[in-house]
Amino acid sequence: MTVAPPTPPFDLAEAMKSLAEHDHALKLLIDQTQPFQMDPDHLQSPYEALLEAIAYQSISGKAAATIFARIKALSSTGRAPTPEEMLGLRKQALRKAGLSGAKVLAMKDLAKKTIQGVVPTLEQAQKLSDEELIERLTSVRGIGVWTVEMFLIFRLGRPDVLPIHDLGVKKGWSITYGKKHMPKPKELLAFGERWRPYRTVASWYMWRACHHAGNAAMRKIRPAKVRRRAPKPRSPRKPESAKSRRKQP
């Protein structure tokens, strides 16, 4: 029996209609690729989702999955260690699992702030705005805005998140709109106004554009153009006075 993919917590049909009406290039991309879908772990708490996100930072997905499996093996439940367990784990054990020293400190701080209530429960998180969650969660060591944006998209299913610093979103934009350069974050933010209030769906399709185009096309895209400032004209040198010339040896 085929199981249908889970539906997002917003009206997907309305989202697709709105995006297609406001962006012809995006409509073509939607027609060429697979339907939008997300597959969150509905048992995963915000603490667990962020703990996994820290493990995945700056390394390949395969390596991160191996490391995170070792971390879960340190727990008594087979899932991620609880905040109390994480605080009780020796740094040496976490380093042996494959974490960097910075990630060990980040996970310890995440556990501490979860116990303190800074990191909300799932029920609490669902009642907080995107801005409130970004402010609270970025207070945790090692968690930046991008990590929280991924949490908002893939764990909470928020409909209007646009990760303007995400490499895949920027390259996908360049592919979709036939640009040789990636957009600057401010440029992407301004362009994304046409996608409101479903910027999450549009971002997801930018990732699909990268997958559809392949690595060869991705490598051709250049970084955002940097406007070079013209050098300031030098002020003419003042002529030396007779007095200053006399002082020279």
Catalytic annotation, residues: 166
The per-residue DSSP string of 115-181 comes to HHTSSPPHHHHTTS-HHHHHHHHTTSTT--HHHHHHHHHHTS--S----TT-HHHHHHHHHHTT-SB
Phi, psi of 181 (to 5 degrees): -115, 150
Sign of CA pseudo-dihedral 177, 183, 147, 158: negative
The helix, strand and coil proportions of the chain, stated in percent and rounded to the nearest 5, come to 55, 0, 40
- Give residue 28's Cα distance to chain centre: 25
- Give residue 67's Cα distance to chain centre: 20
Angstrom distance (rounded) from CA 46 to CA 212: 31
